[in-house]
Amino acid sequence: MVQKKLDVFLVGSCVSRDLQDLWAHRFYRRAYVARQSIISATTPAYVFEGEHQLESAWQHRMVQGDLASSLLRRFAEDAARTDLVIWDLIDERMGVQPLGDGCYGTITPDSLRSGILEAFAEVGDPVSFGAPEHLELWADALVRFVTLLDALGLRSRTFVLRPQWASRDADGELLEPEGGRSAEQWTEAYAPYVELIEAAGLPVLSLPDSLVLGHQAHRWGVAPYHYVDEAYTT
């Protein structure tokens, strides 16, 4: 008997996408919304009609979707056909940029390369991940986010991947720190966000420490959150 695939809605980074890819025999990718902080997703949309500097059409769609706060709309469109929501927090790590009138854009390598956020430099300073202001904005956004999950009947189907930074690769070689923070410092920075998620009643999934290892041959390159294959298949 052929087992029906679960329809999965992915929110976050390549971590959730890699997980789905390696379990493609069990999970069908219903939707994938990347590069979008829940601060941006749950605050007013911003319509940007200027030029961008991205060669990738997919990256451009993600940046534009972030400015348009598209995540909640996509949830509403796909909720009835979604069996599972997998949310990872990696793309929260660079903070957000105020866009004016209560709008925010997520700071990511793609949004920086696009040049789009440069147009908002005079609106306000970036809000750094881990700063008290960011945590306050994020806590308010989480309430709005979970409220929507409840309204759409998705709360019981939502699982959060704990952000875990590898300090070494599978051969024991040290990985270059990202963003000026060590793996331990990233874990500490993410801790209050994870606590808020747990307090909201969403289940948080973690890797065993033995599998938090970087992969030198990872298809997206070497990074503290590009793990060995065993991390996704165990």
Provide the angle, in degrees to the nearest 10, between the axes of the packed helices 71-78 and 132-152.
20
- Report pLDDT for 206: 86
Position 139: which residue type?
A
- Report pLDDT for 168: 84
Position 198: which residue type?
E
Provide the angle, in degrees to the nearest 10, between the axes of the packed helices 183-199 and 132-152.
40
| Contact yes or no for 43/104 (Cβ under 8 A) | yes
- Report pLDDT for 2: 52
Convert 31-69 to b/e letters by CB count within 10 Å (16 or more is b): bbbbbbbbbbbbbebbebeeebebeeeebbebbbbbbbb
Architecture of domain 6-233: 3-Layer(aba) Sandwich (3.40)
Position 32: which residue type?
Y
| Contacts within 8 Å (CB) and 24+ apart, 199-204 | 200/142, 200/143, 200/146, 201/146, 201/155, 202/146, 202/155, 202/158, 202/159, 202/160, 203/158, 203/159, 203/160, 204/159, 204/160, 204/161, 204/162
Domain locations in the chain as residue ranges:
6-233
- Report pLDDT for 116: 84
Helices marked H in the chain — which ranges? Answer: 14-22, 38-41, 57-67, 71-78, 109-114, 132-152, 183-199, 229-233
- Report pLDDT for 234: 64
Per-block mean pLDDT, blocks of 10 residues, the chain (234 long)? 79 78 77 94 85 81 92 95 94 94 93 86 92 98 97 96 84 82 91 97 89 73 75 70
**What's this model's pTM, rounded to 2 decimal places?**
0.90
